Amino acid sequence: MNIQNFINGKFENPISNDWVDNYCPAIGEVYGQIPNSSKADVEHAYQAAKDAFHNWSQTTLEVRSRILIKISELLEVNLLRLAEAESKDNGKPVNLAKAIDIPRAASNFRFFGNAITQFASESHESVGQNAINYTLRQPVGVVGCISPWNLPLYLFTWKIAPAIAAGNCVVAKPSEVTPMTAHLLGEICNEAGLPKGVLNIVHGLGTTTGQAIVEHPEIKAISFTGGTSTGAHIARVAAPMFKKLSLELGGKNPNIIFADCDYDDMLETTVRSSFANQGQICLCGSRIFVEASIFEKFKVDFVKKVKQLKVGHPSESTTDIGALVSKSHLEKVLSYIDIAKDEGGEILCGGNRVTLLGFENGYYLEPTIIEVETDECRVNQEEIFGPVVTIMPFETEADVLQMSNKVKYGLAATLWTNNLKRTMRLSNQLQAGIVWVNTWMLRDLRTPFGGVKASGVGREGGFEALRFFTEAKNVCIKY
């Protein structure tokens, strides 16, 4: 099936008529094509967004809110169709897309549809000077949203929903690897009555279409989620134009396990935080540090549980681990398993490509646990972004804190302990944007979301996102 751009409420072929293949990772075959949109297509999308901006930014909050909530409802109505499309494009189990990805995309629209009605700005009375200041929060204008392939509709809508709720018009690009649900979103927005031009979706490669969005001088803000090196490149391009930037980048998150934790709960959650979505979540706890006194027990139990995970075709209901997103990504992840062996890591389970009968060309990989001798090895320092975790023991709280913070990333950390004082000490000192204690990936959409260090700049979520997508203007009135 061929996907088209969605510009000004209409589906269109790319002006250049340049197309790229779209693969189904479960079978390793091309099943459609998407536009490789050029500068001219991005310009066309920009013009549509610009033309829609005045009316949309003047649309009452009640009407905006109602449209966003309608989009949310239609996403729910189309749950199965969207989940199947997501799974086919990405390789993730359909069940996972049904339980997580699509419901979350619906929540994103519902949440920001509600949040915009509660978004308020400040006023400051200048006492003794007969003056009052108030802050206007005005939409930025036309903004760019660029999203990755791991949680396609989930992350695409996480950016678009706050952007349009705040009164902006959007030029958005999903990952070229997973374009399908973004395409379906266009249809849903039309059905929900979103005015033409408020959301425009251009498909294509990062270096062509993504680059054209970032380079466009009148697209005033860029919200990006993806790899750290892409984020650095985008920052370099955008900086001389003084664009607002929100960058949510990679992670290499520590999962710190103390002996006093609720063991069974920890074990079950650790399987999930290691391998959910084939380990392709920026929040996965890919470095597992276990207090030495329970390390041997944990090792045995964890390996046993992980060996029970079923690698299978994403549409089978018994599948725990589907396909990795692409051949090149599979090769990258496999190359890290070789690096681990070279570095003296011990593969405790997994490590091999899986060939499924009937789907021999699919991109399947066994969930892999590597015991490492030092936290400084490459597999413990670099983002692998697949079903691969490292484990190693630690002796003291000071040691594990030091190892946790000794990576270039700082997105999330998970802590398993029932010791309150230790929880407080470590939560304060871990270099991360998010710390989960005795849980993982429990999300409340009002909270700030993002990372420190090479995991990015800026925060998404709640009013943080609405602040990003608005400009604060102070008005000072003397009376």
Footprint of ligand TXE on this chain (CB under 6 A)? 146-150, 173, 175-176, 206-207, 210-211, 214, 225-227, 230, 233-234, 248-250, 282, 383, 385
Catalytic pick from 282, 284, 291, 371? 282
Q: How far is the CB of 204 from ligand TXE (least distance, A)?
A: 8
In the complex with ligand TXE, the residue whose CB is nearer, 156 or 298, is: 156
Q: How far is the CB of 6 from ligand TXE (least distance, A)?
A: 16
The 3 state secondary structure assigned to the chain is CECCEEECCEEECCCCCCEEEEEECCCCEEEEEEECCCHHHHHHHHHHHHHHHHHHHCCCHHHHHHHHHHHHHHHHHCHHHHHHHHHHHHCCCHHHHHHHHHHHHHHHHHHHHHHHHHCCCCEEEECCCCEEEEEEEEECCEEEEECCCCCHHHHHHHHHHHHHHCCCEEEEECCCCCCHHHHHHHHHHHHHCCCCCCEEECCCCHHHHHHHHHHCCCCCEEEEECCHHHHHHHHHHHHHHCCEEEEECCCCCEEEECCCCCHHHHHHHHHHHHHHHHHCCCCCCCEEEEEHHHHHHHHHHHHHHHHCCCECCCCCCCCCECCCCCHHHHHHHHHHHHHHHHCCCEEEECCCEEEECCEEEEEEECCEEEECCCCCCHHHHCCCCCCEEEEEEECCHHHHHHHHHCCCEECEEEEECCCHHHHHHHHHHCCCCEEEECCCCCCCCCCCECCEECCEECCECHHHHHHHCEEEEEEEEEC
Nearer residue to ligand TXE within complex by CB, 246 or 470: 246
Nearer to ligand TXE, 167 or 206 (CB): 206
282 is catalytic: yes
Nearest approach, Cβ of residue 173 and ligand TXE (Å): 6
Q: Give whichever of 137 and 216 is closer to ligand TXE, judged by the CB atom.
A: 216
* Cβ proximity to ligand TXE, 218 vs 265, nearer residue: 218
Of all residues in this chain, which one has the CB nearest to ligand TXE in the complex? 206
> Minimum Å distance from CB 211 to ligand TXE?
4
Rounded least distance, CB 42 to ligand TXE, Å: 11
Q: Which of 248, 366, 383, 460 is catalytic?
A: 248
Catalogue the active-site residues. Answer: 248, 282
